Amino acid sequence: MVNIAIVEDSPAEAVQLEKALKRYAEEYHVPIRTIVYNNAMAFLSKYAAEYDIIFMDIMMPMMNGMDAARALREKDDKVMVIFVTNMQQYAIQGYEVGAFDFILKPVHYPEFKLKFTRAISKLMPQKKAANVLIKSESGMVRLTPDQILYVEVQQHHCIYHTKQGDYRQYQTMKSVETQLESYGFARCNNYLLINLAYVRKIDGMSVHVGDTELPISYPRRKLFCDKFEEFMGVGV
């Protein structure tokens, strides 16, 4: 899964970029999750190092994209930034803040595809490191984060629940959470780590993951719901 943030104050231009991403995902079978922020301050206030690529408009009210990129680098010096602007002269300054590239407005798909392919090609070796290798007595299986519905801990073993079946491995929940948290996973209680992409609904003290209803603990409910809202882009 490639996690992308779009920071763009124009709804029409944000939609245009989302359509380009959706088209690319369908053409090249690349799973993409996109969240749109309509201003840089909202984006920075909620920022967590969970994105692979950030598309940043430059000319925005309150805080422009260049200043936002400088503030972003104080929080995350590794995330890939691509400026989207109708002013090429400003985009070139983006290299001062480590921007990967820039795309001119209005976004035309052929140019977008060329530059996004370059970004994906650079990103993929890093994404491969997210693979989870499950070792059991009978052999080994490799999972990617988007295959995992949720992880459950039982007696010092973690059980990975997937659509293909369940896989069991001796390890701590903390080690699993550290590996998967940046890929949209969150704990709903002390022994369950949920892939938020598969959450169908949260109903009281229960969360429905696919066809399975799982309990939410009271101490973790607020943080879990906050993470789900952030994952879905609610309130942005």
> What tens digit of pLDDT does each residue of 3-27 get?
999 999 999 999 999 999 999 998 8
Domain count, the chain: 2
Q: Which domain holds residue 199?
A: 132-232
The per-residue pLDDT for 128 is 57
H helix or E strand, kind and range, residue 52 = none
The residue assigned the tokens 């994404």 is: 127
Of 227, 232, 170, 229, the residue nearest 193 (C-alpha): 227
Instruction: Write down the H helix ranges in the chain.
Output: 11-28, 40-45, 65-75, 88-92, 109-128, 173-180, 218-232
Task: Measure the CA angle with vertex 110, ends 105 and 112; round to 5°.
Answer: 50
pLDDT tens by residue, 181-200: 877 899 999 999 999 989 99
Which of 3-12, 81-90, 171-180 holds the top average pLDDT? 3-12
On whether the pTM is more than 0.75, the answer is: no
Cis peptide before 106 (omega within 30 of 0): yes
**6: CATH:** 3.40.50.2300
Same domain, 174 and 113: no
Which residue type, as a one-letter code, is found at position 230? E
Cα radius of gyration rounded to whole Å, the chain: 19
Residues 147 and 74 in one domain: no
Task: Calculate mean pLDDT across residues 88-101.
Answer: 76
